[in-house]
Amino acid sequence: MIRDPHPWASSLETLHAQAWTCLVRGVHDRHAPARHPVLATVTTSGRPRARTVVLRHADRLAGSLDIHTDIHSAKVTELRATPQAALQVWDSAGHLQLRLEAEVSILTGSDVEGIWARVPQRSRVSYGSQPPPGEPISDALDYVKSPDLACFAVLRLRVDAMDLVHLGPHHRRARFERQDQWRGQWLAP
């Protein structure tokens, strides 16, 4: 008899729990799949954008996730206009795709001083560069990094829905919503 390698995929409750296990692992293990999700946003002209980000915090009880960014990055401009994001993770070992829908708050200044204090010195160079990220430069290395709390923003994602797909011998897909207390609903995959 073959042991099911992913028994958690067969019930809504355990599938949902597994998604959070995956997310929390991403915060603590830099080699875990959820360490580097893809964050999708919408530009001010209504077009999609996607980029890899680093997951910095995951709070299952609150259903929230944190990402750190430079305040001058395009995603901050995009999220100011449309504070909605999609976050995608593919956990190849678990054969599990996470597709999250979230409302995003942009925290800056005194609201993030405590978080900034815990950002390692070597990581702070990601927040503050001249010229700002995305500006044209004449040579590839014509920029300087100068860490600056004033350039540091925390994107706090309040997860409102999760669409989970498990690719097993039989595919399973379910959607979980905050407004439904994450009870979950099977969907055709």
Question: Which stretch, 16-24, 105-113, 114-122, 140-148, contacts a copy of itself (CB under 8 A)?
Answer: 140-148
Decide if residue 19 touches a copy of itself (CB under 8 A): no
Decide if residue 77 touches a copy of itself (CB under 8 A): no
User: CA distances (Å), 109 to each of 33, 82, 154, 188, in order?
Assistant: 30, 21, 10, 45
Number of residues that bind a copy of itself (CB under 8 A): 47
The Cα diameter of the chain in Å comes to 63
Residue 133, token pair as written in the block = 């990220």
**Contact by Cβ (8 Å): 131, 70:** no
- Shortest distance in whole angstroms from residue 7 CB to a copy of itself: 13
- Shortest distance in whole angstroms from residue 113 CB to a copy of itself: 26
Decide if residue 134 touches a copy of itself (CB under 8 A): yes
Decide if residue 123 touches a copy of itself (CB under 8 A): no
Which residue in 3, 47, 118, 122 binds a copy of itself (CB under 8 A)? 47
Q: How many Å apart are CA 154 and CA 152, to the nearest integer?
A: 7
User: CA distances (Å), 24 to each of 50, 75, 97, 174, 187, in order?
Assistant: 22, 23, 15, 20, 25
Q: Residue 20: what residue type?
A: W
Decide if residue 23 touches a copy of itself (CB under 8 A): no
Residues that bind a copy of itself (CB under 8 A): 10, 36, 38, 40-42, 46-52, 82, 84-88, 90, 97, 99, 101, 129-143, 170, 172-174, 185-189
